[in-house]
Amino acid sequence: MRLAWANTAATLQLASLGWRMKQRQPFFLVTSAWLATFAVLPMALAAIALVGPEARHIQPFVELAGTDNYMAYVAIGATAMIWSTTIGANVGFVLEDQRSDGTLGSIWSTPTALLARVAGLGASGMSVGIARTFIAFVVAWAILRFPVSLDPLVLVAVLAASTFAVGAFGLIWAAVILRARAGMMMVQVILMGMGILAGPAYPTTVLPGWAQVAGQLLPPTWMIRGLRATLVFNDAAAAWASVAALLALGLVFGVGGMWLFARFDRDARQRGHLEAV
C-alpha cells in the first residue's frame, strides 16, 4: 500500500512538472488549439465541396456511410484522429523529450514504477491534447452547426476507453524509442498512417480488404466508430461494442508495452542510452 501511494505521488509530481514547463511557453497552448482547428476545417470544407451546392451529390455518401449528416461524420473523424495522435505521441515521445532535455537519466534513476514514470511524464501533454481536441470540435460545430445526438454516459465511456487504448498503443512505441534512440520519425509515420486505416473522413469499407483488417487492430478505428455511433447514429449498442473493443486492445497493447518497456529499459541502462549523448 505504501509503495502504491508513493507511485501515485510520483506520477502527480511528474505531471505537475510537465505543466510547469508548459506554463513557461504560453504560446504553445494557444497555437496547439489553433493547429487542431486548422486540421479539422479543411477536411470539413472538402466534404462540403464533394457533396456539391445544396448537397446535390450526397446520395453516394449516404449509401456508403448510412447517414446524410456528413459534416458531423467528418468532423468527428478528424477530431478523433487529433485525440488519438496527440495522446499516442505524448506517450510515445515523452521519453525522447526528457532525454533531449537531459532529465531522463535522473528521472529514470528513481525507484518509481515504470508505469508511474511514463504516466506522470505524459499526463500534462495528454491533457493539453484532450483540451485541444475539444476546442477543435467546438469551433468546427460553431462554424458549421451540424446536428449531433448526445448520451453523456456513452460519450464519456468511449472517450475514456479510447484514451486507455491509444495510450497503451503509444507505450509500445515509447519502449521502441527508449531502445532505438532515433525512433521518433518511425513513430510519427505510424501515428499519422493510422489516419488512413481508421477512416476519419470515409467509411472503412472503401479500403482494400487487407487494410480493413489492419484497421480493426488500431484504437482510432474503434474510437471513430464509437463516437459516430453515439453522436451521429444514436446507437448505444454499437457505441458500447466499440468501448469493449477499445478496452480489449488497450489490455493487449498495455501488457505488450510493459513487457517491451521492462526489457528495453534494462538494455538502455546497460548501454547508457538514457542520456542525450
Which of the two residues, 14 and 277, has the higher pLDDT score?
Answer: 14
Domain holding 20, by residue range, is: 2-271
3-state helix, strand, coil in the chain (%, to 5): 80, 0, 20
Look at residue 182 and tell me if it is in a domain. yes
Number of domains in the chain: 1
- Which residue is it, cell 498495455? 254
For the chain, the average pLDDT equals 77
CA gap 23, 124 in Å, rounded: 11
d(CA 61, CA 51): 8
Residue 213 domain flag: yes
The verdict on residue 276 lying in a domain is no
On whether residue 68 sits in a domain, the answer given is: yes
Q: What is the pLDDT of residues 211-267, one digit of tens each?
A: 999 999 999 999 999 999 999 999 999 999 999 999 999 999 988 888 887 777 777
Residue 277 lies in a domain: no
**In this structure, is residue 102 part of a structural domain?**
yes
Give CA–CA dist 143/123, Å, rounded. 30
In this prediction, residue 222 carries a pLDDT of: 96
149-158 pLDDT, tens digit each = 989 999 999 9
Report the pLDDT value the prediction gives residue 234, as an integer from 0 to 100.
93
pLDDT at 262: 76
Statement: residue 120 has pLDDT above 60:
yes
Residues 82-92 have a mean pLDDT of: 76
91 inside domain: yes
Q: Does residue 198 lie within any of the structural domains?
A: yes
